[in-house]
């Protein structure tokens, strides 16, 4: 059954075991990032095994926002155009060891083993955005809400989010609390003690880990239920950011020194898009169907299973599908095609030589051998693949958000023109297409 693939967001369960054996047995493998680079002893390879910088004219800053300490609150990582010289600190890619534990659970690896290996290989990885750098006011920026895939969390699509921010977007990467992420957290209150005067001292972290399917459990009911929560969280993030834009005071539960008042009047509330990968792409589609403030959407290698049949007639905004060559299959693509029946513009392209993991950051941190064996890399250079995806996204956003930029130079990619792109899909589809929706 193809459905088993959906549970393997990173497709490197066996990589983890392999590199663990290598580490414990002093067998050196060019696995991931910083320590792998040291083992290889090459400065050129060290540069290669890193998350790519944004190519646009804006410096990029990054911060986290958690409002309302309860599980009903909002939690996202914000990428934004920043002022130069206000921070020299790179952003830690995976900020807490609990995320290693969550990834280990997700991949069915013992936590102690998984945490040790993740810490060794990616514990020192940073992404090229300045942590808590001051926001750059003075312009009206379009907004993107980004939804992560199954088993992911808010930090691991930083290459995409940083590129969008470097081009003049504000991007909020939501961390979903529906038990589809590897790990996330909120705060719960301890019983109030008379000796404690500060309210925050009575809070303690409560971690939520990935919820696996139970034996014999049908997948659709769980995923559809999670989809509804994901959609609510995406819309809630939009509401929160627009409140900040209007000047409403925001209290960040996290102890971060970031001036949110600089965002007042800096977001173009008429130019808002939603974007996501895999389960996050399904979330983007569902969000479009429920919230008209999103003017368009981008679905990266969408997994359509969580969507019910009612959604296809309810999405009236333009939608771009960017698919990998190796992940898709006929029934999934046919569900995408159902969305064409509303008469609104739909575009679909496929990136040649790409895999499902060509969109998250892990593809940039894996060596060529390990990356291809364990499906973290395709035949195409990951930097070329993400460049195609980002440029096609920017061209589509310019057209449907009415931006006055130069992103239309990449319009040909949206039309499937180029050495590494295919218009539509590489999958052979049945000759009978889905009937139009009434």
Please report the beta strands in 175-245, taking only residues with DSSP state E, as ranges in sequence order: 183-189, 203-209
**Number of DSSP helices (H) and strands (E) in the chain, helices first:** 13, 13
Please give the pLDDT value at position 170: 98
Do 48 and 145 contact (CB within 8 A), yes or no? no
Q: What is the mean pLDDT of each run of 10 residues along the chain (438 residues)?
A: 42 48 33 40 48 97 95 96 89 96 92 92 94 97 98 97 98 98 92 50 88 96 98 98 97 95 98 98 98 98 98 97 97 96 90 96 85 82 97 98 98 96 95 51
Q: Calculate Rg over the CA atoms of the chain.
A: 21
Within 8 A by CB and 6+ apart from 54, the residues are: 60, 128, 129, 162, 163, 165, 166, 167
Report how far residue 141's alpha carbon sits from residue 329's, in angstroms, rounded to the nearest whole number: 37
Q: Which single residue is written with the structure tokens 């005071």?
A: 249
3-state secondary structure of 363: helix
Report how far residue 424's alpha carbon sits from residue 152's, in angstroms, rounded to the nearest whole number: 27
Structure tokens at 379: 């035949």
| 265 Rama sector, left if φ>0, alpha if ψ -120 to 50, beta otherwise | left
For the chain, the farthest-separated pair of C-alpha atoms sits apart, in whole angstroms, at: 73
Please give the pLDDT value at position 42: 38
Q: Which single residue is written with the structure tokens 């035949």?
A: 379
Report how far residue 391's alpha carbon sits from residue 409's, in angstroms, rounded to the nearest whole number: 9
Residue 138 to residues 82, 170, 209, Cα–Cα distance (Å):
11, 14, 40
If you ran DSSP here, which 8-state letter would residue 135 be given? B
Report how far residue 80's alpha carbon sits from residue 143's, in angstroms, rounded to the nearest whole number: 10
Query: What positions carry a catalytic annotation?
Result: 278, 301, 356
What pTM was computed for the model?
Answer: 0.89
Please give the pLDDT value at position 202: 74
Report how far residue 73's alpha carbon sits from residue 125's, in angstroms, rounded to the nearest whole number: 28
Residue 75 to residues 127, 175, 185, Cα–Cα distance (Å):
19, 6, 9
């Amino acid at each position: 059954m193809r459905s088993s693939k959906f549970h393997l967001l990173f497709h490197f369960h066996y990589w983890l075991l392999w590199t663990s054996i290598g580490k414990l047995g002093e067998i050196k493998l060019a696995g991931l990032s910083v320590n792998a680079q040291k083992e290889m002893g090459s400065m050129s390879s060290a540069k290669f095994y890193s998350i790519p910088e944004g190519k646009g004219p804006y410096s990029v800053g990054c911060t986290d926002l958690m409002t309302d300490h309860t599980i009903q609150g909002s939690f996202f990582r914000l990428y934004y155009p920043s002022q130069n010289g206000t921070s020299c600190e790179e952003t830690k890619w995976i900020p807490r060891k609990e995320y290693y534990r969550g990834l280990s659970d997700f991949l069915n690896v013992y936590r102690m083993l998984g945490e040790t290996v993740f810490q060794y290989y990616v514990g020192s990885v940073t992404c090229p955005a300045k942590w808590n750098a001051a926001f750059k006011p003075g312009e009206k920026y379009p907004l993107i809400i980004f939804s992560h895939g199954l088993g992911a969390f808010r930090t691991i699509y930083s290459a995409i989010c940083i590129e969008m921010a470097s081009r003049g977007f504000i991007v909020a990467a939501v961390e979903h609390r529906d038990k589809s992420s590897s790990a996330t957290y909120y705060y719960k209150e301890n019983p109030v003690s008379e000796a404690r005067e500060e309210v925050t001292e009575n809070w303690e972290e409560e971690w939520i880990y990935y919820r696996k399917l139970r034996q014999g459990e049908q997948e659709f009911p769980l995923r559809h239920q999670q989809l509804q929560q994901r959609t609510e969280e995406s819309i809630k993030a939009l509401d929160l950011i627009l409140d900040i834009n209007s000047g409403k005071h925001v209290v960040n539960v996290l102890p971060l020194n970031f001036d949110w008042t600089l965002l007042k009047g800096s977001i173009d509330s008429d130019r808002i898009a939603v974007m996501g990968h895999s389960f996050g792409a399904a979330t983007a589609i569902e969000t479009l169907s429920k919230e008209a403030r999103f003017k368009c959407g981008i679905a990266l290698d969408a997994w359509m299973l969580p969507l019910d049949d009612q959604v296809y007639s309810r999405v009236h905004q333009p939608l771009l599908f960017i698919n990998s060559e190796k992940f898709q299959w006929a029934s999934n693509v046919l569900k995408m095609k159902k969305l064409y029946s509303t008469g609104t513009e739909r575009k679909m392209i496929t990136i040649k030589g790409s895999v499902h993991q060509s969109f998250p950051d892990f593809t940039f941190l894996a060596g060529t051998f390990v990356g291809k064996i364990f499906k973290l890399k395709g035949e195409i250079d990951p930097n070329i693949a993400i460049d195609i995806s980002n440029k096609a996204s920017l061209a589509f956003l310019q057209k449907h958000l009415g931006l006055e930029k130069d992103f239309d130079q990449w319009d040909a990619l949206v039309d499937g023109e180029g050495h590494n792109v295919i218009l539509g899909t590489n999958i052979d589809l049945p000759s009978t297409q889905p009937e139009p929706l009434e």
